[in-house]
Structure 1
Amino acid sequence: MTSKGPEHALILCRDTGKRVGDAGCLDSDLKGRNRADRCMGMPAAGRLLRMGGSGGPTNMGIDEALATLCRDVATLRFYAWEAPTLSIGYSQRSSDIDPAACRKSTVHLVRRPTGGRAVLHQQDLTYSLILPLRPPWTKISIAESYHQINVCLLRGLETLGLKVRVGSRPRQVNGALSPFCFPAISQDEVLVGRKKVIGSAQRRFPTALLQQGSILLDFDPAGILDLLRPSDRAAAAGAFETVGSLREALGWLPDRLEVETAIRNGFSEEMGIEFVEGELRPEEFRLSVELAATRYGSEDWTFRR
């Protein structure tokens, strides 16, 4: 994708924190930065949160609480969903989705704190990365930070035996007009072959960088189109040819814990941070509960646009 408008989404969307929208990652050359440069000012130890399934409001509340209260320690969180959930981007129009169809399919709906397009969380592993907003992250562009995080994801998938690459230029595909994240192919994306297996979105808070992402363990487009309004289904029908999954690429369905470990190792290798298993702090838990109740569980928030 090439547009930088607030309604334009892509696999790795970026934002300044003032206007949470979507934009493409520009090609950037970080090869000259060694690990010490990339991790300057970053503690050698980070926190790993392995969490089970929760509702959409709880998951979004936790991620925002982690970003809001982040000060010194990087956090990598893996989580699941207690029911199939469609998350839509901060600036995405709710009219892209048919709420009645979601209810009929027992698919929950939640609006994310980050940008991007809609993602159906059903056969995926969801991650969030929270980094203190300090050097080097304050010294590089958002495009560079996206490239850097992409390389971490790439390294992780490589340890599973996958041949992965970061796309160097945008491609025009049927997904350009889709309200869903995964059919859209853009520049600087993590690809297996010519297919997209990770969709992510980033936002910068006053003290932290938050990136949320979905890694497709498996993928079945059946039923996804039913979540659109009937008038939009035909146009989106051919948009999923460029969507892949780890199951398709590997030939088997990988264990969720195995993928978590691979991604964690990719971040540790590239960032020089050892992510040690931990838990939410009491103040993070309290704020997450408040956000889940007053924002992410509110229809005023979900249908704000």
Structure 2
Amino acid sequence: MTGGDPDASDDIDVRDREWRLIREESWSGAMNMALDEIAAETAADGGPRTVRVYRWEPSTLSLGYRQDPDTVDWAFCEREGIEVTRRQTGGGSIYHDAHGDVSYSIIAPKAELPSSLMDCYHLLCTPVLDAFRRMDVAADFADEGFPEIYHPACYLRELHPAHDVVAGGKKISGNAQYRRKDAVIQHGSLTYAVDAERHLATFAGHDVSPDTFRERVTGIDEESAATRGDAVAAVEDALAEWTDAREGSWTDDELERARERAEEKYAADDWVRRRPDDR
């Protein structure tokens, strides 16, 4: 990290640290969340920082940390084979379609990143915006708020200029941070293809129409000629160039711990279905 104001993201060069790039893998929702947590422990303990790209298999509804489980249509998710997990990050629920979603995480020690939340978002979203440029998608941070349509759904909340990315006036990416005492996890979802009907069907008790959803949300496939493979490669390449990361993989120990964490926490009802007042 270069010298200068620790809150000035433009003064920070992350490339002089050890990073590993883990190319797109398919994991369950619970494992994806567990792997982020284990990667944070690795970075905090002096191991490599991690940038990773991943697919949710099966398709997963991820609840925000304080999300009310009553907002989920549990019967639909069970019938359709959609997993439900809960993130450490806040915000509303996101339906991560196995085909239509491209997700990434950036994990590093907290001391190496800006202490200001806004500056940290600005820094860590740099490769996300670069990935969109590589796909010829004219995307940038939201610069104006849209009225909230449905609070439980992340993509239908009011836009935030720190972490919501839009293209053609519609949301195309959401990003969130979990700041531990020793590490920062930023993960995000880039929409490749919009499935408004299926996304909305994972929620209970609303009257939002698919047309209304599509008026607010767009996908990479609507904004450019990029295939999903192109989109994955763009995100991987942007992350690798930004960090100067070497291609890497999980250790056997990390995978074992992640599987235990997934089973004991991220797939457990007392985590996924816990009510906000119980936290």
Q: TM-score, normalised by structure 2?
A: 0.85
Please, which of 253, 256, 259 is the counterpart of residue 283 of structure 1? Answer: 253
Please give the alpha-carbon distance, in whole angstroms, between the structure 2 residues aligned to 1:279 and 1:49.
6
Please give the alpha-carbon distance, in whole angstroms, between the structure 2 residues aligned to 1:100 and 1:233.
18
Partners of 1:174 and 1:238 within 8 A in 2: no
* Secondary structure of 2:233's aligned partner: helix
What is the CA-CA distance between 1:193 and the residue it aligns to? 1.7
**Which position in structure 2 is the counterpart of 1:49?**
22
What is the CA-CA distance between 1:43 and the residue it aligns to? 3.3
**Which position in structure 2 is the counterpart of 1:192?**
167
Q: Does 1:130 align with 2:107?
A: yes
What is the CA-CA distance between 1:237 and the residue it aligns to? 7.0
**Which position in structure 2 is the counterpart of 1:180?**
153
RMSD, aligned CA: 2.4
Please give the alpha-carbon distance, in whole angstroms, between the structure 2 residues aligned to 1:74 and 1:199.
22
**Which position in structure 2 is the counterpart of 1:94?**
69
**Which position in structure 2 is the counterpart of 1:25?**
none
Provide Cα deviations, 1:225-273, integer angstroms capped at 9, x if missing partner.
22222x32348973441101100001x35233x323322443455x4x2
Question: What amino acid is the match of 1:101?
Answer: F
Please give the alpha-carbon distance, in whole angstroms, between the structure 2 residues aligned to 1:78 and 1:262.
10
What is the CA-CA distance between 1:124 and the residue it aligns to? 0.6
Partners of 1:178 and 1:239 within 8 A in 2: no
Q: Does 1:110 align with 2:75?
A: no
What is the CA-CA distance between 1:49 and the residue it aligns to? 0.7
**Which position in structure 1 is the counterpart of 2:189?**
214
Please, which of 231, 234, 237 is the counterpart of residue 262 of structure 1? Answer: 234
**1:1-80 equivalences in 2 (<5 Å):** 34=10, 37-39=11-13, 43-71=16-44, 72=46, 73-80=48-55
Partners of 1:225 and 1:237 within 8 A in 2: no
Which segments of 5 or more consecutive residues in structure 1 lack a partner in the other structure? 1-29
Deviates most, 148-157 or 295-304: 148-157
What is the CA-CA distance between 1:119 and the residue it aligns to? 1.0
**Which position in structure 2 is the counterpart of 1:299?**
269
What is the CA-CA distance between 1:48 and the residue it aligns to? 0.5
Please, which of 263, 268, 274 is the counterpart of residue 244 of structure 2? Answer: 274
* Secondary structure of 1:199's aligned partner: strand
Which segments of 5 or more consecutive residues in structure 2 lack a partner in the other structure? 1-5
Please give the alpha-carbon distance, in whole angstroms, between the structure 1 residues aligned to 2:111 and 2:249.
23
What is the CA-CA distance between 1:54 and the residue it aligns to? 1.8
Assess, with a 3 A threshold, how the Cα gap between structure 1 residues 152 and 50 changes in structure 2: closer, same or farther: closer
Q: Does 1:83 align with 2:58?
A: yes
**Which position in structure 2 is the counterpart of 1:143?**
118
Partners of 2:196 and 2:210 within 8 A in 1: no
**Which position in structure 2 is the counterpart of 1:119?**
94
What is the CA-CA distance between 1:46 and the residue it aligns to? 1.3
**Which position in structure 1 is the counterpart of 2:3?**
none
Q: Calculate percent identity across the aligned residue pairs.
A: 27
Q: TM-score, normalised by structure 1?
A: 0.78
Please give the alpha-carbon distance, in whole angstroms, between the structure 1 residues aligned to 2:178 and 2:21.
20
**1:242-257 equivalences in 2 (<5 Å):** 242-250=216-224, 252-256=225-229
Question: What amino acid is the match of 1:128?
Answer: S
Provide Cα deviations, 1:103-154, integer angstroms capped at 9, x if missing partner.
122211111122221111111111111012223x1x4301111122223211
Partners of 1:226 and 1:233 within 8 A in 2: no
Partners of 1:163 and 1:192 within 8 A in 2: yes
Bigger helix fraction: 2
* Secondary structure of 1:211's aligned partner: strand
Q: How many residues of Structure 1 are paired with residues of Structure 2 in the alignment?
A: 264
Partners of 2:9 and 2:122 within 8 A in 1: no
Question: What amino acid is the match of 1:261?
Answer: A
What is the CA-CA distance between 1:165 and the residue it aligns to? 2.0
